[in-house]
Structure formats: structure tokens, C-alpha cells
Amino acid sequence: MYQKSKTLLKEQGLAASKKLGQNFLVHEHTAQRIVDFVELSKEDTVLEIGVGLGALTRPLAEAAGQVLGLEADSGIIRLHEEQGDLPENVHLMHQDVLKADYDELVQLSQGKKLKIIANLPYSISSPFLFQLIEQHEQIDFAVIMLQKEVALRLLAQPGTKEYGVPTVMLGTVATVKMLMHVGPEEFHPRPKVDSAVIRLSFDPLPERAAALGNFDRKLLKTIVSSTFGQRRKTLLNGLASAGLLSKDVLRECINEAELLPSVRAEQLTLETFVRLAQIIKTRLA
Ligand code: SAM
């Protein structure tokens, strides 16, 4: 596949775009291993983000009934249209995933929650993850390849430097599992960093997330972002920086949550953050 992808790009006058995070998988067996993790049947429609030259798309089309393939690069769309090189059950769409309408994607997926697979352009990992969190009710699972460092942040435990806003926010909707590590030699062109494939399971909602009760997700994000944004500051000072309530009222909220004002954000569990958001919400009303 390596030589093929290089030659194909050259023939078509295309160069791998850095801006679009184009690092194409070059070994068929690696693509197949990733697809095997997804466990698809011919009843399934799977949504692939970033089709590229089709390394994952082809084995996906073999395993699933239908592949909805999103691709932002018009040069790549043209290439597949001209070459007719993708299997018939692939529905290729020229679409930036960050602007996608998830209701529409669910409809195209026979009204079923989305099964997503992506070798992500690293430049969009963060907005894409927050999009998944926002759209979690529309998603069954996502198997995604991303920068190993980002994957480790999503899997991090409280009290570590990797633990942060995405860990907490994702924890409210999904469980995260490490599937495999992937080295730079698996791509053309080679990225400077290591990669990892992880699975995010949204449905059923993980027990831990279901036990959280009702909370205002937007408020939680404001709280988590402001406190982690000021990582070295105390919880009280971090919270105060969000400008939601006076310091005195915030001190009372922290007390009610049975915390010390001097505690740091990275020591708080998901459950404690949610509890704090619930308390602060009552004071905002
Ligand atoms: N799936 C292919 C593979 O594994 O070899 C390509 C993976 S490459 C890392 C990422 C692909 O996503 C590229 O083809 C790129 O053009 C496309 N892409 C980049 N930004 C995108 C976006 N916002 N929406 C959809 N596709 C995007």
C-alpha cells in the first residue's frame, strides 16, 4: 500500500496536506487490525471520518453493510470519483466533520446510533472530541486513532498531569479503552509523534456516568476549564477566575461540597466536579 499511496498522490498531482493532517496508513494488516476491533456485521452502517486514500474504508466496506465516508479534501474526493476505486457500498461525502449535521448522519445510518471510526487528522482531535461529547446521545461508539499523548490524557487518573478538561468531560458520557499503539512508520508521510487507537463507548451510558444525576453540562465545562486553566492555583482561585459568583459564595459552595478551598483541580474526581457544578447551579438561579 505504501508505494501505491505515494504513486497515486504523485499521479494525481496531489501532495499530502499538513493542514488537513494527512498521514495515510500504509500497511494493510494494520488497517485490518483496527477494523477488526470494531466488530461489524453486514447489518451495520459505519461512519468513517477522513477517508483519505481509503486504507480503512476498503476493509470497513468488507465488514459492514454500508460505509458513510466523510472527507474534507476536494482533491481526494475528485480522485475517488475519477478512479472509481472505492467499493460500491461506500457513500462518499465531501464534508468537514466539524460542520456535520449529526441528525442527518443518524438518518443516513438507518436511524441508528452512529458507529464511528477515524484515523483522525491530529489538528482536529480536540474539537472533534468535544463534538462527540456534545453529540453523545447520537453515538454508539467511536474507534479512533489519535496522538498517543492525547489518548493518554483521555485515560488519565486524577492526581496526574495528564488529567484535564477532556478527561473529565468525556468521562461524563463515555468509557475509554486503549486498543493499540501505532508507530510513525505505519504512515506516509511519517508523523513526528506516536499514535494510539482507542475505543470510546457511549451506549449504554457507563454506570459511573449514569450515576451522576442531572447537571448543567455547559456550566460543568466552564467550571472544569477555569479550574484547570489555572492548574497551579487553588480550586477557589480557579473558580473565581470564571467570574460566575463572588469569592465568598464560591467558598460556601466548596464547603458544601465538603472540599477544602486550597485543593487543586487535578485532585478532583469526575463525581466531585459534577457535585460542585450542581451546587454552583443552585446559587446561580
Ligand atoms: N483514513 C485514511 C487512512 O487511515 O489512511 C486517512 C487518514 S488521514 C490521518 C486524515 C484524513 O482526514 C485525511 O484524508 C484528511 O483530508 C481528512 N480530513 C482532515 N480534516 C477533516 C475534516 N475536518 N473533516 C473530514 N475529513 C477531514
Over residues 216-243, the pLDDT tens digits come to 999 999 999 999 998 888 999 999 999 9
| SS3 category, 176 | strand
Residue 100 has pLDDT above 70, yes or no: yes
Burial 79-103 (b: 16+ CB within 10 A, else e): bbeeeeebeeebebbebebeebebe
Cell of 261: 478551598
In 10 A of CB 272, how many CB atoms? 17
DSSP string across 25-68 = E--HHHHHHHHHHH---TT-EEEEE--TTSTTHHHHHHHSSEEE
Distance CA 34, CA 28 (A): 10
Nearest CA to ligand 1 atom 19: 20
What is the fold, at CATH topology level, of the domain defined by 2-206? Rossmann fold (3.40.50)
The domain ranges of the chain are: 2-206, 217-284
44 touches ligand 1 (CB under 6 Å): no
The CA R_g of the chain, rounded to the nearest whole Å, is: 21
Beta strands in 161-258 (DSSP E): 175-182, 187-188, 195-201
Residue 5 has pLDDT above 90, yes or no: no
Ligand 1 probe mutation, 73, 116, 195, most atoms within 8 A of CB:
73
| SS3 category, 69 | strand
pLDDT of residue 1: 59
Q: How confident is the model at residue 130 (pLDDT cuts 50, 70, 90)?
A: very high
Cell of 216: 448543567
Nearest CA to ligand 1 atom 18: 50
Q: Tens digit of pLDDT for each residue in 137-193?
A: 999 999 999 999 999 999 999 999 999 999 999 999 999 999 999 999 999 999 999
pLDDT of residue 39: 87
Cβ neighbours for 168, distance < 8 A, ≥ 6 positions apart: 220, 224, 270, 273
Q: Tens digit of pLDDT for each residue in 15-32?
A: 788 888 899 999 999 999
Q: How confident is the model at residue 111 (pLDDT cuts 50, 70, 90)?
A: very high
25 touches ligand 1 (CB under 6 Å): yes
Residue 9 has pLDDT above 80, yes or no: no
pLDDT of residue 57: 98
More confident residue, 183 or 14: 183
Nearest CA to ligand 1 atom 17: 50
- Per CATH, the homologous superfamily of domain 217-284 is rRNA adenine dimethylase, C-terminal domain (1.10.8.100)
More confident residue, 213 or 10: 213
pLDDT of residue 21: 86
Distance CA 165, CA 171 (A): 10
Q: How confident is the model at residue 3 (pLDDT cuts 50, 70, 90)?
A: low
DSSP string across 137-153 = GGEEEEEEEEEHHHHHH
